[in-house]
Chains A and B, each alone.
Chain A
Amino acid sequence: MLEILQYGFMQRALLAGMIVGILCPLIGIFLVLRRMSLIGDSLSHVALAGVAAGIFGGIYPLGTALIFSVGAALAIEQLRKSYQQYAELAIAIILSAGIGTAVVLISLAKGFNVDLFGYLFGSITTVRKEDLWLITGLGILIVLSIKLLYKELFYIAFDEEGARLAGIPVKGINHFFILMIATTITLSMRIVGILLVSSLMVIPVATSLQVAKSFKHATILSVIFAQGAVILGIFISYYFELASGGTIVLLAVAILLVVLIGKKAARWVKGDRLKNIH
C-alpha cells in the first residue's frame, strides 16, 4: 500500500477529491455552454462569506457556506428577471455583495486564521469525517439529478426557447440547476478552495471542447480530465507540501496545454502528409 493511503486524512481527501472531480465538470459543462461561467466565481465568493460567518459564529462552516451560496443562487435568478437584458449584472451584484459580507465578517473575526486560509486555497489535510459524509451524500444526489435531467439540461443549454417550446419545464429546471451549482461549489471548497473552485468547473470542460465529437463525449472527457488533475494534484501536493487547490488547477491547465499542442501537432502532421501525397 502506498504511504499516502495509510493515513485516514489522505483517504478522506482522495475520496472527497474524486467526488469533486466528477461534480465540477458535470456542472461546468452546462455552465460553460450556457456562457454562465462567472456564476461559479460569484457563488464561491458568497460561500467565502458563509465560511467566515460559520467561523465567526462557531457553526459548521460548510453548512453556513451552503446556506449562503444557495440563498445567493436564488437571488441571482430573481435579479436576472429584473435585468433581463444584462444577465451578467445579476452575477456582478451578487459577487460584490458576497465579497463585501466576507470582508466585514473577517474583520469582525479579527482577521484571517489558518482555517479560513484552508477554505480559500484548498487544504486536503483538513477534510473531516463530517465533510466527507456531506460531500458523498450531496455528491451522489447531484450526479443522479444530472443523469436524470441530462437531456433536458442539454436542450436548455443548446436552445432555451426551443426547449420551452418542446414542453420542457425550463423555469423549474433552471432553478434546480442553480441550486446544484451552489451546492457543488460549497462541496468543492475543501479540496480546491473558494478562489479556485470555478477553475475546476471551467478548465476541464475547455479541454474537452477541443477534442469532443459529441455532447456526451465532451461530458465524459471533461470528467476524465478533471479526475486526472484532482488525483495527480492530491498526490503531488502531499509529497511536495503544496496547496492542493493551486496544484490541481495548474495540472488542469497543463492538461489543456498538452491537448492544444497535441491537436496542433496532429493537424501539422496531417497537413504534411497531404503535401507529400500531392
Chain B
Amino acid sequence: MNDLTHLLHKIDRYLNGQMNEAEERAFEALRRDNGDVEKEFHEQAAFRSMLQDHADRKAFIQKLHAAEEKITAHSGMRSEKGKNNIFQLSRQAWRMTGIAAAVAVLVATAALWITGGFSNDSGSTYMILRREIDNIKKSQTALMKDFNSSHTRPPADPGSFGGTGFAISSDGYITTNRHVIRNADSVYVQNNKGEAYKANIVYQDPVSDLAVLKVEDSAFMLPALPYTLAARSADIGEDVFTLGFPKDDMVYGKGYISAETGFEGDTCAYQIALTVNPGNSGGPLIDDRGNILGIVSGKQTSANDIAFAIKSHYLKSLIDSIPAMNRKCSILHRSTNSLRLSRVDQIKKLEDYMFLVKVYN
C-alpha cells in the first residue's frame, strides 16, 4: 500500500469514529503538524459528505414518489368534493402532529380539551412520569426514621423532582425528558451505586420533550457504551424493557410495543404495554438485542399498561443538530452492541449507564 492509500484509510477510520482515543490524538497531532495531511483530510471529509448528501437526496426523492403515489392514487382526488374531503382529513391529521409538540408540556392536556371534538375521547389524559420526591420522601421518612443514621447517599436533600436518564456518551452526556428537568435550579444525576454528580443542562427541546445533561466533573468517564440507538422503527408486538428510577433503586420493567403511535395518534411516540410509574420518565426503551428504541415519557391515566415512549430517531436528530455533541456521542456511530446476553446479564451491563435524575427547584 502506498502512503496516500494508507493516509486516506486513516482519515476514513477517523471520520467513521473507529479509532481509539490514543489513535485519535496521534492523528489529530499529525494533522496539526502536517499541512498536506490537513488538506487531504478536508478534501476527503468534503467528498464524503457530498456522497452522503447525494444518497440522502436520492432517498428523499424516492420517498416523495412513494408518497405521491399513495396520496394521489386516492380516487376522490380528482373530484372537487373528494379534494375537500382530503383537505379536512389532513387538517385533522395536522392537529395530531401538533400533539407531538404539545405533549412536552402539561398544558397539552388543556389544549386537547380546548381543540376537543377531534377525538371522541373517553376522559383519559396524558400523564408525564416525573416523580415528586418530596411527597414520597415524607411518607418514607416516617417509616425509616431509625435508619437515618446509616443514610449516606449524597446529596442529603432528596431533591424535589426525579426522573431517569441514560448515558449517550462515555464522557458524561446523559439524556432524559425535558419535562423532568423543567424549571430546574440545579440537577444531579445518581447512579445505582448511589454516587451523585452535579450535571448541567446543555440542551432542552420542548417540542420533542427531550433534554441533554452533561456531568460537570470533567474526570467523569464510563466504559464504552454497551448499547446502540436503533436506526429502525419498532414493530408492533416486539418485546421491550426499560430501566428506571420510580424509587431510589433501579427498577426493571418488561412489556411490548402495542402501537406505532403514541397518545391520541402522536406519530413521534410508540405506545407500549409496560407498567411504569412516576420516575420512569427519561428511561430507555430497549429491545431484546440491546438497541434503544425510544425514551419512556408518559402514560395514559385511564388505563394500566398504556405507556408512551418517544421514538429514538428524535433523540438522534437532536444529537445530530448539535455538532459539538455529535462526535462525542459514540452511541450513534456504532452498528453493533455488546448486549446479546441473557436479560440478567444485560441489566448488569446496563446498570452503570442508568441514572436517577434529581431536580432541585
User: Do these two chains interact?
Assistant: no
B residues with CB within 8 A of A: none
